[in-house]
A and B are shown apart, each in its own frame.
Chain A
Amino acid sequence: MDRLLRVLYGVLIGATLIYVTLPSLVVVVTAFSDKALLMFPPTGFSLKWFERAWTYDDFRKGMVNGLIITAWASCIALAVGTMAAFVIERFEFTGKRTLEAVLLSPLVIPHFTLGIAMLILASEISLSRTFSLVVACHVILVLPFVMRSVYVSLKNIDPALERAAASLGASPFRVFMKIDLPLLAPGLAGGWLFAAILSFNEFTATLFVTGQRTQTLPVAMYTYVREYADPTMAALSSMLIAVTVLFLVAANRWLGLERILSIEARH
């Protein structure tokens, strides 16, 4: 009975892992197909879809647009989020709870609701679909993640350090720059990275607020899937999956994903 249970448990875990990984593996295999139609199993080997994905104009533009938007959005979110989280954590002021609730609300508001809301607001104030609109939308979406990582890091700073610096005559701003900021740095790096990945991959809200000129890589990919059925998308997806896996394995080795995700067992 015990053995049977153990075997069943192992099979369930194995099957789930296969189910989760299977799509990525299938996509990678498809990318090397030599046929223009999606077919399984593939009949020949070719690298032409990688070449097409790499040279396809919309993907190139989407990549550049995406990187520009991600760079701006993640850096603005990092600066704004750090300052807001610091002030909210350390000071009392009227409207503090409301401000915090509003800033964290994009965690639960559906992205399509946010996207269409920002689009309507932009048209109400006669703002066209520019880069600043997309950046603003992304900053609002990723801000909660930056704020949360700052909160966690701030809780680990001993207030005695701040008091000591202040008692030695440092101004509050100097205390923040010399004591809090350096101690926050690792948490900030994590928050920034997370914000950048989310912004680069964000699709739903972005689809609503981008136009032809500002479309990001995910939006360009979506448009491609709706128009063509060849394995170019599979090739591009394989490249993105490969980068993600390398990145996560590295993050797991050097930073410990379990610690980042706070799921370490207590023994």
Chain B
Amino acid sequence: MQDRRPAYFAWFILPSVFLAVALVASLASLFQYSFREYIPGSIKVGDFTLANFGRMGSWVYLRVFIDSLLLSACTAAANLILGYPLAYSLVRSKSSLLKSTILITTIVPMFTGDIVRTYSWLVVLGKNGFINGTLKAAGIIDTPLELLYTPLGVTVALVQYSLPVMVIILAAAISHIDVAYEKAAASLGAGPLRVFWNVTLPLTMPGILSGTVTIFAWTLSAFATPQLVGGGKVNMISNMVYQLGFSNFDFPFAAVLSMAALALIFAILGLMSLGMRRLERVGLH
């Protein structure tokens, strides 16, 4: 059965080949568009040109890339700090109530969808929103704090957005360590901090690496959160692409930025798999 191809083979594989071709074709037409001349005010594109790539060097767009990278880095770091304890308790806690509380509360935002999640943050961070309203009612502030449309606000919303994924990746890594290692270290007299630092942390290094990099790459492709919470003042690559496409109809340059984002993400994931291989060779895995 392994080598003989049954009659249904072609029928089973054809639909997926068709989809794969459509996917490759759409990326190819994106690539092709990045070389086309932009005709201002028109959806039509002109002849082939290299001019679009020259515009990448402009400070406006470089700035968007730098901002996107910084936001993603902060988000990934905050995810690691907040996600690790949650993941640890999720796997190791003896209370099943705590376990299911952690599981349900961290997972819910993942399933409510981008818009509900992002809208919620508008209500929390807004000028008359939850934080400002509460602080004002408590007499702590007189003028509302600027939280919406700031990098801080966007990061706070982005971290909540990606935390479920981080917790799932870290929890999987932690659940793979044998509890005996930690027990052995503790029985030999190591305190909880030392057990964590010398045993648990090194053993979960592959999970930490893959979690952090995954969140970093994931945040780089975020759209709804920076679009609404950033409100045009904090722009990531995706927002620039949308604006170029749908406000200016500058699809050629939007294509250039999209391709650049794709290349950046592939480079980051490629570096990660190199790093993972090194970690495995060192023998930490």
A-side residues, CB < 8 A to B, are: 1-2, 5, 9, 12-13, 16-17, 19-24, 26-27, 30, 37-41, 79-81, 83-84, 86-87, 90-93, 99, 102-103, 105-106, 108-114, 116-121, 123-124, 136, 139-140, 143, 162-163, 166, 171-173, 175-176, 197, 200-201, 203-204, 207-208, 218, 221-222, 225, 233-234, 237, 240-241, 244-245, 247-249, 252, 257-258, 261-267
Tell me, in angstroms, the Cα distance from A92 to B5 when the chains sit together: 9
Q: Are the C-beta atoms of B223 and A111 separated by less than 8 Å?
A: yes
Q: How far is the CB of A214 from chain B (nearest CB, A)?
A: 16
Tell me, in angstroms, the Cα distance from A239 to B217 when the chains sit together: 31
Query: Which residues of chain A have C-beta atoms less than 8 A from B102's C-beta?
Result: 13, 17
Q: Are the C-beta atoms of B16 and A83 separated by less than 8 Å?
A: yes
Q: Are the C-beta atoms of B33 and A120 separated by less than 8 Å?
A: yes
Tell me, in angstroms, the Cα distance from A26 to B255 when the chains sit together: 38
Chain B 169-208 interface 0/1 with A at a Cβ cutoff of 8 Å (1 = within) = 0011011101100000000000111000000000000000
Nearest 3 CB-CB pairs, A to B?
A: A40-B133, A110-B221, A201-B113
Q: Are the C-beta atoms of B20 and A103 separated by less than 8 Å?
A: yes
Tell me, in angstroms, the Cα distance from A79 to B193 when the chains sit together: 50
Query: Which residues of chain A have C-beta atoms less than 8 A from B220's C-beta?
Result: 110
- In the assembled complex, B105 has its CB within 8 A of some CB on chain A: yes
Tell me, in angstroms, the Cα distance from A118 to B22 when the chains sit together: 9
Q: Are the C-beta atoms of A203 and B224 separated by less than 8 Å?
A: yes
- In the assembled complex, B111 has its CB within 8 A of some CB on chain A: yes
Nearest A residue to B171, CB-CB = A263
Give the number of residue pairs across the A-B interface with Cβ within 8 Å: 279
Given contacts A91-B5, A110-B221, A241-B108, contact A117 B124 (CB under 8 A): no
Tell me, in angstroms, the Cα distance from A86 to B175 when the chains sit together: 29
- Interface size (B, Cβ < 8 Å)? 100
Nearest A residue to B113, CB-CB = A201
Q: Are the C-beta atoms of B26 and A120 separated by less than 8 Å?
A: yes
Q: Are the C-beta atoms of B123 and A30 separated by less than 8 Å?
A: yes
Q: Are the C-beta atoms of B120 and A24 separated by less than 8 Å?
A: yes
Tell me, in angstroms, the Cα distance from A257 to B114 when the chains sit together: 21
Given contacts A22-B130, A117-B27, contact A225 B261 (CB under 8 A): no
Tell me, in angstroms, the Cα distance from A218 to B254 when the chains sit together: 23
Q: How far is the CB of B115 from chain A (nearest CB, A)?
A: 5
Q: Are the C-beta atoms of A166 and B15 separated by less than 8 Å?
A: no
Given contacts A13-B86, A17-B102, A222-B224, contact A38 B20 (CB under 8 A): no
Nearest B residue to A237, CB-CB = B116
Q: How far is the CB of B1 from chain A (nearest CB, A)?
A: 6
Chain B 20-39 interface 0/1 with A at a Cβ cutoff of 8 Å (1 = within) = 10111111011001000000
Q: Are the C-beta atoms of B33 and A20 separated by less than 8 Å?
A: no
- In the assembled complex, B63 has its CB within 8 A of some CB on chain A: no
Q: Are the C-beta atoms of B113 and A218 separated by less than 8 Å?
A: yes
Query: Which residues of chain A have C-beta atoms less than 8 A from B255's C-beta?
Result: 116, 120
Query: Which residues of chain B have C-beta atoms less than 8 A from A116's C-beta?
Result: 30, 241, 245, 251, 254-255, 258
Q: How far is the CB of A178 from chain B (nearest CB, A)?
A: 14
26 CB contacts below 8 A, A to B, read: A12-B82, A21-B108, A23-B109, A23-B124, A24-B120, A40-B123, A40-B134, A83-B12, A83-B16, A87-B9, A91-B5, A102-B24, A106-B23, A120-B33, A123-B43, A143-B19, A172-B4, A172-B8, A201-B113, A203-B224, A237-B116, A248-B108, A249-B104, A252-B103, A258-B99, A263-B90
Q: Are the C-beta atoms of A2 and B192 separated by less than 8 Å?
A: yes
Q: Are the C-beta atoms of A258 and B103 separated by less than 8 Å?
A: yes
Q: Are the C-beta atoms of B120 and A26 separated by less than 8 Å?
A: yes
Partner of A113, one of B6, B30, B92, B192: B30
Q: Are the C-beta atoms of A19 and B258 separated by less than 8 Å?
A: no
